Amino acid sequence: MTVLAKTTAPKGHGRTMADKVSDKTDESAELRDAAVESGNAAPVAAPRVGVDVIADAVKLLPNGPGVYRMLSTSGDVLYVGKARSLKKRVTNYTRVAGQNNRIARMIQSTAAMEFVTTSTETEALLLEANLIKQLKPRFNVLLRDDKSFPYILLTGDHDAPQLVKHRGARSRKGQYFGPFASAQAVGRTINAMQKAFLVRTCSDSVYETRTRPCLLHQIKRCSAPCTGEISLEDYGELVRDASAFLSGKSRAIKDELANEMQAAAEEMEFERAAVYRDRLAALSHVQSHQGINPQTVEEADVFALHQDGGHACVQVFFFRTGQNWGNRAYFPRIDKQVEAGELLASFIGQFYDDKPTPRLVLVSDEPDEIELLSLALSERAGHKIEIAIPKRGEKRDLVDHALQNAREALGRKLADSSSQAVLLDGVARVFGLDERPRRIEVYDNSHIMGTNAVGGMIVAGPEGFVKGQYRKFNIRSTDITPGDDFGMMREVLTRRFSRLLKEHGARVALEAEAEANGGDIGPWPDLVLIDGGAGQLSAAKSILDELGIDDVPMVGIAKGPDRDAGREKFFIPGKPDFMLPLRDPVLYYIQRLRDEAHRFAIGSHRARRSKDIGKAGLEEIPGVGPTRKRSLLNHFGTLKAIERAGVNDLAAVEGISEATAKAIYDFFHETAG
């Protein structure tokens, strides 16, 4: 792979293709700067963009495969594409006539280009998908809200294997089953597996410290190998059954359990028969929540696309070991002119950039360059990948089922967006904004007596909460008096908006920003909500004034008397404060935003506090020394279990008085401010 990109090498020494293309522009900039310094500056010409820039790049391009990037005047990546022949593909962009509006806008915005040559077209395709996910160019189809999928791990590095949910790199020894569509699907399955196979879910450290069976054993969800309630040999049989069930041998396991139940009943051992009955019921519960379980498809992912009104939904179903392990709906960001084939090809390429690929991928529409896509996925996976558009039979039924789910999911999404638009129009009306806000940022602080102080920022837009853009700010300044909310807000806003200016420059007009981002929300907020009254708002406004930012509307939200919801007062700089009618939908919406910011800030604070507690143990709690700490850990197993315990449970521990139990409980449950 050869990177053809801009560098700072001297002209004529190791210059790359992109350097040569941009030499004239760089020289012009140097001459212009010199003229400005000497006072003889001519009128500043607009930067070169569009066809001329692309035509200059074409002159130096090879005919081989590679990836190209089109950049705006600000250096943002507009588009990432791959080509069998870079020269031929980029030459197409030197002709605006005949291009659709989306491509024409992209060409006219291009101020520079960068290139990477590759050995093969498949390598180019894989690199393209990776760069799109990293750079998020506005003119590409973007896979949004992309998260790693959870797996079930049956560990293999312990005498008594553990059943646990797993995300991330599969580096721990054991058997991995998945992917599952959601953490909820994994949780339901593990819960039922506990009832059916009595396999432990506790961590190894808890296992090693147990001296008596835990509550899970008492409610018949664990066989308690930790305390010898079952031999390791018999426990191994349960683990093998659990592995067989997750591997698709559910029918054989159910038949075996049914036979055991019948034998126990015939021998008049009704208690043992009831155990097998409960295990059978648990397995049936798992399968009843799986919906369709195909008979002829062992392993496949199903992609179904539905488009409507410039919006799209891709519904993905996961089938492994003949079982349905859930589905997830995606709403990729697209231009209205993107065709189904281009959308699916780009989506699938990005989707499998960091995920294992099954041997069969079923799709509702044919992706562009389907053979190349199949070859690229096969090369990455190390085995043959088939992409098929089934026409009949069970495979077609699976696609049709996914397609129906895609239609329904997009319908719900559009309905939610419509309702959200009405609320945002109301926000604009109430706060006197010129336009419907596309990005609302809400700020809140959380601490206990000034300790573990955290600032939180949440983001909301036309599609609801944008959780991928939430930010937490650990308060670092040592000059802030503990509990000084003004000082904390000053640090949070200074860090947030200083970085915004550095990375994105000054805020641009709303219309231009919305156009530049293809209808998506931009980095700059259209409205900032501060949890606090006139004083908090004034402090926040002064921070933005110091940074030279005067075009970001700000509103303070003061809680009503006795913190009554519905009696909030709103403060806008230069205007009298006011309240909204109790049943105003906009009031409910703003309360939701404020509550979400409060929830996020408190959650971040608690996570930081728990981390500190984990480092220092329980010794931070008054009256808890090494002896009591050891008693608590021996009784509950983990700090998390101690945190969840009630006062009576804590008082039941040897050496813990009622007063100490109350102190421990209050320490973990004191409300953060």
Name the token pair of 593.
């935003």
**Cβ of 435: how many Cβ atoms within 10 Å?**
13
Report the distance separating Cα 620 and Cα 640, nearest Å.
15
Per-residue pLDDT of 59-80, as tens digits, reads: 888 888 999 999 988 888 999 9
Please, are residues 162 and 198 in contact by the beta-carbon 8 Å criterion? no
Per-residue pLDDT of 475-518, as tens digits, reads: 766 665 665 677 778 888 898 998 888 877 776 644 444 454 44
pLDDT surpassing 50 at residue 29: no
- What stretches of 56-102 adopt beta strand conformation (E)? 66-71, 77-83
pLDDT surpassing 50 at residue 415: yes
Which of the four pLDDT bands, split at 50, 70 and 90, describes residue 146? low
> Cβ contacts of residue 297 below 8 Å, gap of 6+?
319, 322, 360, 394, 395, 398
* pTM of structure: 0.62
Which of the four pLDDT bands, split at 50, 70 and 90, describes residue 472? confident
Report the distance separating Cα 198 and Cα 69, nearest Å.
54
Secondary-structure percent of the chain, ordered helix, strand, coil, rounded to 5: 45, 15, 35
Give the CA diameter of the chain.
106
Report the distance separating Cα 238 and Cα 198, nearest Å.
7
The whole-number pLDDT of residue 187 equals 83
User: What phi and psi values does residue 175 have, to the nearest 5 degrees?
Assistant: -100, 130
Please, are residues 196 and 245 in contact by the beta-carbon 8 Å criterion? yes
pLDDT surpassing 50 at residue 112: yes
Q: Using alpha carbons, select from 53, 61, 54 the residue that is nearest to residue 116.
A: 61
Per-residue pLDDT of 539-576, as tens digits, reads: 889 988 888 888 899 999 987 665 555 678 899 998 99
Per-residue pLDDT of 39-48, as tens digits, reads: 454 454 556 7
In terms of pLDDT, which residue wins out, 610 or 128? 128
> Cβ contacts of residue 318 below 8 Å, gap of 6+?
149, 178, 179, 180, 181, 301, 324, 325, 326, 327
Partner residues linked to 323 by β-bridges: 320
In terms of pLDDT, which residue wins out, 342 or 583? 342
Q: Using alpha carbons, select from 527, 521, 524 the residue that is nearest to residue 503.
A: 524
Per-residue pLDDT of 344-391, as tens digits, reads: 999 998 888 878 888 999 999 999 999 999 999 998 888 899 999 999
For the residues 203-212, what does the mean pLDDT come to?
Answer: 87
Q: What is the 3-state secondary structure (H, E, C) of 313-324?
A: EEEEEEEECCEE
The whole-number pLDDT of residue 385 equals 92
Mean pLDDT over the full length of the chain: 79
- What stretches of 436-504 adopt beta strand conformation (E)? 440-448, 451-461, 464-465, 471-474
Per-residue pLDDT of 147-182, as tens digits, reads: 678 888 999 989 999 999 998 778 889 988 878 877
Report the distance separating Cα 249 and Cα 330, nearest Å.
31
Report the distance separating Cα 165 and Cα 179, nearest Å.
11
User: What phi and psi values does residue 385 have, to the nearest 5 degrees?
Assistant: -115, 125
Report the distance separating Cα 585 and Cα 594, nearest Å.
14
> Lowest-confidence range among 234-243, 269-278, 313-322?
269-278
Report the distance separating Cα 11 and Cα 673, nearest Å.
59
In terms of pLDDT, which residue wins out, 25 or 255? 255
Give me the sheet containing 386-388, strands edge to edge.
323-330, 311-320, 300-308, 360-363, 386-388
The whole-number pLDDT of residue 250 equals 65
In terms of pLDDT, which residue wins out, 433 or 451? 433
H-type helices in 323-392, by residue range? 340-351, 370-381
For the residues 280-302, what does the mean pLDDT come to?
Answer: 70
Per-residue pLDDT of 435-447, as tens digits, reads: 899 999 999 877 5
Per-residue pLDDT of 590-632, as tens digits, reads: 988 988 888 888 876 565 555 554 444 555 566 677 778 777 7
The whole-number pLDDT of residue 291 equals 54
